[in-house]
């Protein structure tokens, strides 16, 4: 089966299972979204959603966040891991947003990726879920699943994003990346399936007999 045929099968299955997909990270504005996505690095969305209500009660805008001591931010977000780096990044990006953008989150990949703690994946999520632009955020989970399903060679996340954008219609990207995340959590988890058990793995690679080792 060719990659494009696998992509078509993946789309069919995901569309059947997930007709609607909620936004995983709770937020009420674009600033909250940036902070929530930043906190989600090496942390579950569930944990982030437990922490952010306390943080956003203190500061739900860049201007308000610059008035919260870094130590306070650190203490609140500690459960998310990497608290020293994340608390510093949250404070500094808030300061930059106030100074350069009048407190607003910029609507461009270039400006977003210049912010502390904001890489390409985070910027893609903000552009997609915050501004509605078609983007295909690829995290380690999507990178792993794309390899299991034979949609990429798995060289790196940059190549995986490029391959997925080539295989799927642009109008589907925003919904599709969420569908893949939800499917992975429910049916094709990191420490199970291994490319052998779930519906998509079986449809895309029916002759596979041994577990697939994915590249990081």
The C-alpha angle 206, 158, 204, rounded to 5 degrees, equals 10
Q: Are 125 and 138 in contact (CB under 8 A)?
A: no
Please state the φ and ψ torsions of residue 98, each to the nearest 5 degrees.
Answer: -70, -45
Of the candidates 148, 212, 144, the one whose C-alpha atom is nearest the C-alpha of residue 181 is 144
Q: Write down the catalytic residue from 6, 139, 165, 175.
A: 139
C-alpha R_g of the chain: 18
Q: Write down the catalytic residue from 121, 155, 165, 175.
A: 121
Both tokens of 40, joined, read 């989600």
Both tokens of 56, joined, read 């956003």
Q: Looking at the chain, how many residues does it have?
A: 216
Both tokens of 25, joined, read 């990270």
The b/e string for 62-77 (b: 16+ C-beta within 10 A; e otherwise) is beebbebeeeebbebb
121 is catalytic: yes
Of the candidates 77, 158, 167, the one whose C-alpha atom is nearest the C-alpha of residue 120 is 158
139 is catalytic: yes
Residues 6+ apart with CB under 8 A from 82: 41, 42, 43
Catalytic residues: 121, 139
């Amino acid at each position: 089966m060719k990659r494009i045929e696998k992509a078509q099968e993946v789309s069919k299955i995901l569309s059947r299972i997930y007709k609607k997909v909620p936004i995983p990270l709770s937020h009420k504005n674009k600033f909250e979204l940036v902070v929530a996505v930043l906190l989600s690095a090496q942390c579950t969305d569930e944990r982030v959603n437990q922490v952010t209500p306390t943080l956003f009660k203190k500061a739900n805008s860049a201007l308000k966040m610059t008035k919260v001591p870094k130590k306070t931010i650190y203490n609140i977000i500690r459960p998310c891991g990497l608290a020293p780096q994340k608390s510093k990044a949250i404070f500094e990006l808030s300061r930059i947003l106030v100074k350069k953008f009048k407190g607003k989150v910029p609507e461009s990949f270039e400006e977003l990726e210049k912010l502390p703690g904001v890489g390409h994946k985070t910027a893609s999520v903000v552009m997609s879920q915050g501004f509605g632009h078609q983007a295909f955020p690829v995290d380690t989970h999507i990178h792993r699943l794309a390899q299991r399903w034979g949609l990429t060679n798995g060289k790196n996340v940059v190549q995986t994003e490029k391959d997925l954008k080539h295989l799927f219609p642009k109008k589907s990207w925003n919904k599709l990346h969420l569908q893949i995340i939800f499917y992975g959590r429910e049916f094709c988890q990191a420490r199970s399936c291994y490319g052998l058990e779930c519906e998509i793995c079986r449809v895309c690679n029916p002759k596979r007999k041994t577990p697939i080792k994915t590249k990081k």
